[in-house]
Amino acid sequence: MRKGLSFRVKFISTFVLICLIAFLLFFANRIASEYVILILNLIAINIIFSTSLTLINGITGIFSLGHAGFIAIGAYVSTLLTLPVEQKEMTFLIKPLIYPLNQIQISFLPATIIAGLVAAGFGYVVAAPSLRLIGDYLAIATLGLGETIRIVANNAWSITNGALGLKAIPPYTNIYWSWGWAFITVLIIASLVNSSYGRALKAIREDPIAAKAMGINVFSHQVMSFVLGSFFAGVGGSLWAHLITTIDPKSFTFTKTFEILIMAVLGGLGSISGAIIGAAVYTVGLEFLRFLESPFKIGPILFPGIPGMRMVVLSALLIILMLFWQRGIMGREELSWEKFYGIFRCFRRGGKS
């Protein structure tokens, strides 16, 4: 009977992979164009969004549609903490910003952590009553609460500047911040999923009644999962706001949650590896198809650009994928060093033969 890989081999392989990714990101940050760097940052931020939603929807089985609301909380909280006082005075023209936010300016790291904690706090407030519902009722409740957050942001002029939004946000997000937080997100959520808590969450996903009969506190585990996912959604919102440098309530409609759900389902709902792959494929694919929105030629034929065509094409491709590959790219499977070395051995044997 063949034994699995030792911990030492896995640790060295993981360390080498992390060093290789870090080197490639450092190299890209030095020589790549601003557009490529923007795409790399978006991939990392979308990994945070997709992984945090996978924890809630795919691992725990909570059908939540309010992720955009927690992203909005993280974006607004961190922005209000990092904007210079002078910029706040120029931005809040209709109604002045409330005290003490009008006098506060802190650095990016604590602002991002606070944004995540505030989003987690709201996640707990939302989870406590909502998780007593099941199925479609839970989805409708979380969708309504996400929309409520957006509507409050649209009308709270003395906090969010209403429909005008916040402009001239300091562009603190870079490759190191975005990919550093993406690594932390994946590390923490993957560690949780592989622990006894993770096995309990999967049991709840499969059958809450049976899990409760086995002594698992279903409600507390669901709340923990929802709060942790909300925290990382808030962190991702902070990174996204300081990358785009302008936010308003229209940035956090249900469409935002739908995009993140596409990433999770594309990669495989219930797989952390799938969430990473789905986020990368969706982000790159969305940018690759941008040429469809401007005039382009195929041979002698000139095609006029159609605004929004890339979303139509991408949606059609996703529909085809779901028809023939219903569980997504990874399903509920995870990438592992055992599988990688197994494939490598197969190639070596094939070469020898």
Q: What is the pLDDT of residues 191-249, one digit of tens each?
A: 999 998 999 999 999 888 899 998 899 999 999 999 999 999 999 999 999 999 999 99
Structure confidence at residue 353 (pLDDT): 45
Give the C-alpha distances (Å, rounded to integers) separating 114 from 104, 238, 244, 254. 13, 10, 20, 24
The SS3 assignment for 83 reads coil
CB 267 within 8 A of CB 330: yes
Structure confidence at residue 234 (pLDDT): 96
Alpha helices in 156-195 (DSSP H): 157-160, 175-193
Q: What is the pLDDT of residues 48-59, one digit of tens each?
A: 999 999 999 989
The pTM is what?
A: 0.91
Structure confidence at residue 318 (pLDDT): 76
pLDDT in tens, the chain (353 residues): 345 677 788 788 888 888 999 999 999 988 988 999 999 999 999 999 999 999 999 899 888 888 999 999 999 999 999 999 999 988 888 888 998 888 999 999 999 999 999 999 999 998 888 888 777 788 888 888 888 999 999 999 999 998 899 998 999 999 999 999 999 999 999 999 999 899 999 999 988 889 999 889 999 999 999 999 999 999 999 999 999 999 999 999 888 888 898 898 888 888 899 999 999 999 998 888 877 777 766 767 776 767 777 778 877 877 887 777 777 888 888 887 777 777 767 766 665 54
Q: How many CA atoms lie within 13 A of 321 on its CB side?
A: 20
Amino acid at 72: A
The SS3 assignment for 103 reads helix
Structure confidence at residue 1 (pLDDT): 39
